[in-house]
């Protein structure tokens, strides 16, 4: 059986965030009208790459410090301002003092 510790979880989340961020960057070059965006939040990133993009979610939150209520409000506002539902990819190893 394989167990993932916080160090491995951080690397996996960083890899996932990198892929989604690169997709958003590519979208901004190929389809600038989409207005892709990447915003740092709670040690991770909120990523938007178009209304139907598969990578539209916040990734990597709470792996370095707690996620606060304000962080979650930021994520909701980030996606609401773009007309899409907010999504959070939350790792089970999120900081234990988080508001999630």
pLDDT in tens, 28-70: 999 999 999 999 999 999 999 999 888 899 999 999 989 999 9
Taking the model in full, what pTM does it have?
A: 0.88
Q: What is the pLDDT of residue 1?
A: 55
Largest CA distance in the chain: 47
* 67 within 8 A of 99, measured Cβ to Cβ: yes
pLDDT at 94 over 90: no
* Six token digits for residue 49: 């790459």
Other beta carbons within 10 angstroms of residue 67's beta carbon come to 24
* Six token digits for residue 51: 């209304």
pLDDT at 97 over 90: no
* Six token digits for residue 5: 């510790």
Q: What is the pLDDT of residues 70-81, one digit of tens each?
A: 999 999 999 999
């Amino acid at each position: 059986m394989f167990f993932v510790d916080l160090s491995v979880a951080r690397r996996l989340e960083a890899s996932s965030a990198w892929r989604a961020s690169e997709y958003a960057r590519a979208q901004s070059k190929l389809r600038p009208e989409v207005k892709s965006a990447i915003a740092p939040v709670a040690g991770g990133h909120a990523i938007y790459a178009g209304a139907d993009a598969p990578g539209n979610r916040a990734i990597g939150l709470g792996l370095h410090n707690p996620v606060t209520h304000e962080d979650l409000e930021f994520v909701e506002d980030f996606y609401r301002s773009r007309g899409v539902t907010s999504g959070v990819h939350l790792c089970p190893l999120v900081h234990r003092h988080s508001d999630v």
